[in-house]
Structure 1
Amino acid sequence: MKKLINNPRSVVAESLQGFEIAHRDLVKVHLDPDYVIRRDAPVRGKVALVSGGGSGHEPLHSGYVGAGMLTAAVPGAVFTSPTPDQILPAIVESDSGSGVLLIVKNYTGDILNFETAAELAGVEGIDIRTVVVNDDVAVEDSTYTAGRRGVAGTVLVEKIAGGSAERGDDLAKVTEVAERVNANVRSMGVALAPCTVPHAGEPSFTLADDEIEMGVGIHGEPGRHRVPMTNADSITDQLMEPVLSDLGITSSDKVLLFVNGMGGTPLSELYIVYRRAAQILAERGVSVERSLVGNYITALEMEGASVTVLRLDDELTQLWDSPVKTPALRWGE
């Protein structure tokens, strides 16, 4: 194992320390318990958004803390859910009195620990709502979930719900926007090679040189099936068909197309995947109104990619376009 680390047990803490030094104009980092929060939090009169999950998926979630997205993010150990004693103080420090929306990926540990923290915050009088992201069409159930996994669609939920909160919407409206994004987004990923969790010291799974994992999860969970390695267009076809079928896309739809890297795939290859995905949508008469290409929710250094399609309406498009200023995503004023 070759990694730019000092001690496998200190990876998360040292990474957070570097993150704060690099982005201290935007965020504050609290250690023991670990969480990242907007430097100006709580923002008076604004609904707070709190998310989190295991580390190793950077820039998710800490990279999306800032104006127009999250108020706070709670990082657990690598590929491990944060604990309630981390989540609760992040909620309390984020709340301005307007309520808090928790955005939680559908993994068993995340669900249980965020639920516990939400109950404790409720006892303290904080108005809490929760949206569970479950956009992965690859499998219905896995070792980590009951139902579909939350994957790259989480980035879109956080950005669009963040735009709703930033414009001053109340908690009920911000929650409705997040739920609408989740209902209209689907994703599927593929792994060409595994990643290595620092404290494990060995690859999280094995693949033969001539095979790929179609439908892989962001922790290396098994997908739909293993298939022979083939060219980029064929792989993209196999990813797009279940996404579009499950979403029920029609020629009248307008969409956001998101091609995400798993951490070890060159950007040039991601654009090859995007090229084919856009062709498939064009062939169906679907209008690609917005796009995103890059490493936005990773699995350490896993080689692979995912495709995500979000059906847009006018309000979701406006909220996607609204200004955002975070370490990992920024545009507008």
Structure 2
Amino acid sequence: MPTKKLINDPADVIEEMLEGILAAHPNHLKQLPESRRSIVAVDGPRPGKVGLVIGGGSGHEPTFLGFVGKGLADAAAIGNVFASPPPDPILECAKAASGGTGVLFMYGNYAGDVMNFDMAAEMAAMDDIDVRTVLSTDDVAIEDKARRRGVAGNFFIFKAAGAACDKMLSFDDCERIARKANDHTFTMGVALAPCSLPQTLKPNFELGPDEMEVGMGIHGEPGVFRGPMQTADAVTDQLLDRILAEMQPARGDKVAVLVNSLGATPLMELYLINRRVKQRLDDLGIAIHRTWVGNYCTSMEMAGMSITLHHLDGELTEMLEHPCDCAMFRAG
């Protein structure tokens, strides 16, 4: 049976979504007239500032569009649903974000994104724009760190990099802080039900009515364990056990927490998860600096959630608290 979506022509869904977002947030976002998939911060790029360009496929809102603004990303290149943007809008974002001191490209570690952003970086070099790339790889479901995906942890990784750029730090320091933020960010998720693409209106994977899949990716990539549904506390413990084994925190350490809906899981359930996260961290003597709960990196209407811990030190705390003002996120 086809799924139900409030759309018009599936071929127009991205352009119409962008039109709606720009109408809602004209003080934060503008669209380059020559490149409609290039969205730029109204108050962001400026001379002497390292530019920050993010991007990826649609269907994950508010990632990436929600993180474009003063103090965070200067521009975002927007692809089709679950598909990388092509090189041309990425290049136009780099041109718009360039303040003459270099541009950071930051995006999730997916083959299509890597190929197209690398091509755009080569094209930017022809225009004398120095580009460096920092991949987000926070998904601890994958053992091989080189193959790890960028998922909801982009929230903290982009935030740190955006703060470093907004503080007018050197290109070297902006890149260093971006890499450090990525290395200090750990995410694990669980899927309860599939999503569907606007073009097909068919579930993009199958789960039984009493099944869940731990570690599934935000496009429906296979997880690490499929089994029967469990309670909120039991699922939270499974995810945290994997995260904490990777993070190796010590008593007295400090973290920021993100409990993220994949699209269909409501706030009631997310707050149940957050309750257990706090219990576990309190028992371990790990201080929670700040917590965010809600939709920050979604997967269309997928049911499920992810937990992210951002392992803080003094520098990363400073970056987290640095003010930013974006269409769908503010801090400081």
Counterpart position of 1:54? 57
Alpha-carbon offset, residue 98 of structure 1: 1.7
Alpha-carbon offset, residue 43 of structure 1: 1.3
TM-score by length of 1: 0.96
Q: Which runs of 5+ in 1 are unaligned?
A: none
Question: What secondary structure is seen at the aligned counterpart in 2 of 1:34?
Answer: strand
The answer to whether the 8 Å contact 2:40/2:68 transfers is yes
Alpha-carbon offset, residue 309 of structure 1: 0.7
The answer to whether the 8 Å contact 1:108/1:146 transfers is no
- Structure 1 CA distance, aligned partners of 2:119 and 2:74? 19
Alpha-carbon offset, residue 299 of structure 1: 0.2
Counterpart position of 2:172? 172
- Structure 2 CA distance, aligned partners of 1:323 and 1:261? 24
1:242 and 2:230 are equivalent in the alignment: no
**Aligned residue type for 1:22:** A
The superposition leaves residues 188-218 of structure 1 with CA deviations (integer Å, 9 ceiling, x where unpaired) of 0001111011112100101101100111101
The answer to whether the 8 Å contact 1:37/1:73 transfers is yes
- Structure 2 CA distance, aligned partners of 1:13 and 1:206? 29
Counterpart position of 2:76? 73
The answer to whether the 8 Å contact 1:27/1:38 transfers is yes
Question: What secondary structure is seen at the aligned counterpart in 1 of 2:8?
Answer: coil
The answer to whether the 8 Å contact 1:50/1:71 transfers is yes
1:217-232 → structure 2 map (5 Å cutoff):
217-232=217-232
**Aligned residue type for 2:103:** V
Counterpart position of 2:135? 132
The superposition leaves residues 134-179 of structure 1 with CA deviations (integer Å, 9 ceiling, x where unpaired) of 01011246xxx96111111111111111111111111111111110
Alpha-carbon offset, residue 322 of structure 1: 1.2
- Structure 2 CA distance, aligned partners of 1:281 and 1:41? 36
Which of the numbers 91, 102, 110 marks the counterpart of 1:99? 102
- Structure 2 CA distance, aligned partners of 1:146 and 1:37? 30
Counterpart position of 2:213? 213
Which of the numbers 15, 33, 58 marks the counterpart of 1:13? 15
1:120 and 2:123 are equivalent in the alignment: yes
1:301 and 2:310 are equivalent in the alignment: no
Question: What secondary structure is seen at the aligned counterpart in 1 of 2:70?
Answer: coil
**Aligned residue type for 1:125:** D
Question: What secondary structure is seen at the aligned counterpart in 1 of 2:288?
Answer: strand
- Structure 1 CA distance, aligned partners of 2:89 and 2:146? 23
- Does the C-alpha gap of structure 1 residues 11 and 146 become closer, same or farther in structure 2, counting only changes over 3 Å? farther
Question: What secondary structure is seen at the aligned counterpart in 2 of 1:310?
Answer: strand
Alpha-carbon offset, residue 122 of structure 1: 1.3
The alignment yields a C-alpha RMSD, in angstroms, of 1.4
The answer to whether the 8 Å contact 1:17/1:29 transfers is no
**Aligned residue type for 1:248:** Q
- Structure 2 CA distance, aligned partners of 1:176 and 1:248? 21
Question: What secondary structure is seen at the aligned counterpart in 2 of 1:174?
Answer: helix
1:315 and 2:315 are equivalent in the alignment: yes
The superposition leaves residues 7-55 of structure 1 with CA deviations (integer Å, 9 ceiling, x where unpaired) of 1111100000111111111110236551110124531221110010000
Counterpart position of 1:195? 195
Alpha-carbon offset, residue 278 of structure 1: 1.3
1:326 and 2:326 are equivalent in the alignment: yes
Matched pairs, number: 329
1:64 and 2:72 are equivalent in the alignment: no
**Aligned residue type for 1:253:** D
The answer to whether the 8 Å contact 1:107/1:146 transfers is no
- Structure 2 CA distance, aligned partners of 1:116 and 1:178? 21
Alpha-carbon offset, residue 252 of structure 1: 3.1
Alpha-carbon offset, residue 230 of structure 1: 1.1
The answer to whether the 8 Å contact 2:4/2:201 transfers is no
**Aligned residue type for 1:52:** G
**Aligned residue type for 2:296:** Y
The superposition leaves residues 202-238 of structure 1 with CA deviations (integer Å, 9 ceiling, x where unpaired) of 0010110110011110111110010100110000001
Which stretches of structure 1, 4 residues or longer, exceed 6 Å deviation after superposition? Answer: none
- Structure 1 CA distance, aligned partners of 2:142 and 2:232? 22
Counterpart position of 2:158? 158
- Structure 2 CA distance, aligned partners of 1:255 and 1:54? 29
Q: Which runs of 5+ in 2 are unaligned?
A: none
The answer to whether the 8 Å contact 2:252/2:286 transfers is yes
- Structure 2 CA distance, aligned partners of 1:30 and 1:194? 34
**Aligned residue type for 1:76:** G
The answer to whether the 8 Å contact 1:45/1:97 transfers is yes
